[in-house]
Chain A
């Protein structure tokens, strides 16, 4: 029964990984940008939520919206001022820009807010759980996280495949030059893509901060690693794969923790490496944005 519980907890942990990885997958799929700042932007999203309730008195459940608005706006500026220009320079330049941002964000956060955790307390919801009998329990909050992840990834999928703008986004991912000849301003599509990516990562970051009870500046370096592992395990460019990848990584870490408290990270990395060796295209690897 312990192992059933371990897998269950792992699946719930995987929800956050999947959500964080969704935006990463989208930006890579559309613009071929490997956003190395994704984890730090996620933590920044956590800070936006924590600071808005600490200093502005925003009710805790609504901090999610503040965080999404702040990061969405930041995403627009980031794309228009930096990434568009970097993309025009070379394929590697955008990655170097995001690397620079990944260095700047945690240092700026430490400078402004110190290294102490900024608390984001969700009170009773954090510990409330549903008893399933036989010693099994599902926390309400992890459950909420998984549901949110499924909704976000389903939403992204529906957006890409069922809406006009989504179709144009897929066409832009295929050939940004030719869409211009169909009357599409590809830079607007890029801006929208980055905004969506950062709005989802803001949601992930806020839920992450709520789960941990707060955030500290340097956590992004680890979360970006998890997000990349999730994308690779699931298969690049496949949103369902991303969900599966998050859950697999969550279960692996949770199983590792069950064996020894030192093991969760190692277990996650081992699963990641095994997938990379035996199924390099990932569990659901297909073409881009399929």
Chain B
């Protein structure tokens, strides 16, 4: 589904990602962990098309999308949520999701409205449908990020820190939503600091540090690996 090859991203002289290669087969859910500044969000930006790529290629379902616009990548099946929610504040929650259904999924009229409602239902936002998105509290806005991504009918879903800042109960609800998406066959790449939430969903864990992949395998292997312990302890000691 997604193939990232020799990806490098530099901002000026600062190399944020350095030769990252990662392939995610269809239907797999991959968690990305790593300390702050490891390049996790930069990786998601490179895949969704909102960030720059200095070297390397990004392929979606075999198609090279390295230089494709974010809007077209969305229409080709990449949906994403933001770490800090960015709702269209002057639109209602329903309208927010409707835009995604109409443009991202290319639906019209009733089909678009039905898709928007399904996304709101799946994320527990149905009762807030007519609220202005700018007035929705944090959990609702995090869910709206997810609902909008869902409404674009993604084949590949990129999630950036959706559990951060939520209570355990709230995080559990989001986890069950993501789990049902995975069961529906959506490929998922999920950045998360709340590892406890992550391991309930993902089949595979990748650890990034200093712009490189330091561990890649089953969640148990990766969490137990010496490299990951060093990265986190090293980060804590520094």
Contacts and interface: CB of A to CB of B under 8 A. Distances in A.
B106 interface: yes
Contacts of A95: none
Nearest to B132: A287
A178 B82 CA distance: 9
Contact of B75 (A175, A178, A183): A183
B96 A171 contact: yes
Sort A-B residue pairs by CB-CB distance and give the 8 closest, nearest first.
A183-B104, A183-B103, A174-B88, A183-B74, A180-B70, A182-B100, A171-B88, A183-B75
Interface in A183-238: 183-186
Interface in A151-195: 164, 167-168, 170-171, 173-175, 177-186
B91 A181 contact: no
Interface of B: 48-50, 69-72, 74-75, 79-80, 82, 86-91, 95-96, 98-100, 102-106, 148-149, 152
B82 A170 contact: no
Contacts of B71: 179-181, 183-186
B80 A181 contact: yes
A184 B49 CA distance: 13
Contacts of B88: 170-171, 174-175, 178-179
A174 B85 CA distance: 13
A289 interface: yes
A26 to B, nearest CB: 14
Contacts of B96: 171
Contact of A171 (B75, B99, B106, B152): B99
Contacts of B48: 181
Interface string A255-290: 000000000000000000000000000000001111
A189 to B, nearest CB: 10
B74 A170 contact: no
A248 B100 CA distance: 40
B50 A180 contact: yes
B90 A290 contact: yes
B98 A167 contact: yes
A289 B134 CA distance: 14
Interface centre among A164, A177, A181 (most CB of B within 10 A): A181
B100 A183 contact: yes
Contacts of A289: 90
A167 B99 contact: yes
Contact of B152 (A168, A182, A287): A182
A173 B90 CA distance: 9
Contacts of A182: 74, 99-100, 103-104, 148, 152
Contact of B103 (A174, A184, A288): A184
B50 A168 contact: no
A167 B91 contact: yes
B50 A177 contact: yes
B103 A168 contact: yes
A168 B87 CA distance: 13
Contacts of B152: 182-183
Given A182-B152, A183-B105, 4 more contacts: A164-B102, A183-B74, A183-B106, A287-B89
B86 A179 contact: no
A170 B75 CA distance: 20
A167 B71 CA distance: 17
22 contacts: A167-B91, A167-B98, A168-B103, A170-B90, A171-B95, A174-B87, A174-B88, A174-B89, A178-B82, A180-B49, A180-B50, A181-B71, A181-B79, A181-B104, A182-B103, A182-B152, A183-B100, A183-B104, A183-B106, A184-B99, A287-B89, A288-B90
